[in-house]
Amino acid sequence: MSVCSGECYGVTSMAAQLKEALARQTILRRKQVEARTGLSRSTIYERTKAGTFPVPISIGAKAVGWLESEIDAWLTTQIQKSRKTA
């Protein structure tokens, strides 16, 4: 008799899914965000303050970064917005 460990019938447990999702998170530093989005430093912070850009997370006493998944989602939204108006 086998015991299910992590995956049964193709369904992964919620805890295992969460652990896997967190392990795949990548933090981007500001220069990387600027390169990916084409936005300047000041525009990133202006849009963050306005609530129209992802909020950075603290990664140290004087360091912040953005979750790559949130930047990717923001970019996808911007593409969709621009294609709908065209």
Whether 8 has a pLDDT exceeding 90, the answer reads no
pLDDT at residue 13, rounded to an integer:
79
- For the record, the structure tokens of 61 come out as 């006493």
**Helices 30-37 and 68-85 meet at what angle, rounded to 10?**
20
User: If you average pLDDT over residues 60-78, what whole number do you get?
Assistant: 95
pLDDT in tens, 15-68: 777 677 666 789 999 999 999 999 999 999 999 999 999 999 999 999 999 999
pLDDT at residue 14, rounded to an integer:
74
Write down all domains in the chain, each with its CATH number in brackets.
Answer: 26-85 (1.10.238.160)
Higher pLDDT, 2 or 15: 15
pLDDT at residue 3, rounded to an integer:
53
pLDDT at residue 78, rounded to an integer:
95
